[in-house]
Structure 1
Amino acid sequence: MKQDAEKFSLAINVQEQDIDELGHVNNVVYLRWVQEVATAHWNHAAPAGLQEMYTWVVIRHEIDYFYPAFLGDNIIGYTWVGEHQGAKFVRFVKLCQAGSGKVLAEAKTTWCLLDAKTKRPRRIEQDVLSIL
């Protein structure tokens, strides 16, 4: 596994609307953060030309929850990509409490690369591999 310094990271602040009736961040919010971290990584790494050519769609999420987050917490989402095959890429996201580094949740998500115009799956080629 990559060291945190080698991964893309995104700061996340827990907002009031993230909190559920149990007083902590709702599980669905963690999943939203997984997608936000992944999207931010693509937008950061991919030049405008690639962003115009390609888009991504999630085809599978697996997420493990370890500890709750609460209103006012600062979270850091780390992401990195794993293996790819055809049009599919595995991406990992780790959501940690800022400061302590305590892992709150981890996700493994399978994404499918699409041609932005046709919305059809597109084999992942070197132009994409070289930036991730």
Structure 2
Amino acid sequence: MQAIFQHSITIQASDIDSLGHVNNVVYLRYVQEVAEAHWETCASDELKKAHLWVVLRHEIDYKAPAFLGQSLLGRTWVEKADGAKVWRYVHLLEVDSGKLVAQAKTLWCLLDAVTKRPKRITEEIDTVFDQSR
């Protein structure tokens, strides 16, 4: 496992569904928000201009409901890259209790920003994920 990156999430009123808790689809948005924050925070401007990321697969487990007024902490890390693909893990924790509310495993693919074709993940890009905040 590489370094863990953390990102704070504020639950908005629009995130709440008719059952009074965060909607399942919103958790997926949180997963993507945490992943994007990791790349935006740790990658150089040059790397960000030259590369794009797309999701190939999401697996998500809902562990407990989250509610308006709570704050969440997203924790993410990636496995060693395999060609153009990398598995990313995200845990969403309720800040006050530390309780795990959802966890996801997501397969991402690196693309060349110009050609939009898959591009092998280099050691330089892999080291971006060794950084944490």
The answer as to 2:78 corresponding to 1:81 is yes
Match of 2:47 in 1: 50
Match of 2:68 among 65, 71, 92: 71
Gaps of 5+ in 2: none
Shift of 1:99: 2.1
Gaps of 5+ in 1: none
How many pairs were matched up?
129
TM-score for both structures, normalised by structure 2:
0.94
Residues 1-132 of structure 1: pairs in structure 2 closer than 5 A? 6-132=3-129
Q: Which amino acid aligns with 2:55?
A: V
Aligned partners of 2:81 and 2:126 also within 8 Å: no
| Greater RCO (Cα-Cα under 8 Å, separation 6 or more) | 2
Q: Which amino acid aligns with 1:101?
A: G
Cα deviation 1:98-128 (Å, max 9, x = unaligned):
0211000000000000000110000111110
CA distance in 2, matches of 1:29, 1:131: 27
The SS at the match of 1:120 is coil
Shift of 1:49: 0.2
Instruction: Calculate percent identity across the aligned residue pairs.
Output: 55
Q: Which amino acid aligns with 2:66?
A: A
The SS at the match of 1:117 is coil
Cα deviation 1:69-100 (Å, max 9, x = unaligned):
00111000000001321100000000000021
RMSD: 1.1
CA distance in 2, matches of 1:85, 1:7: 19
Q: Which amino acid aligns with 2:10?
A: N
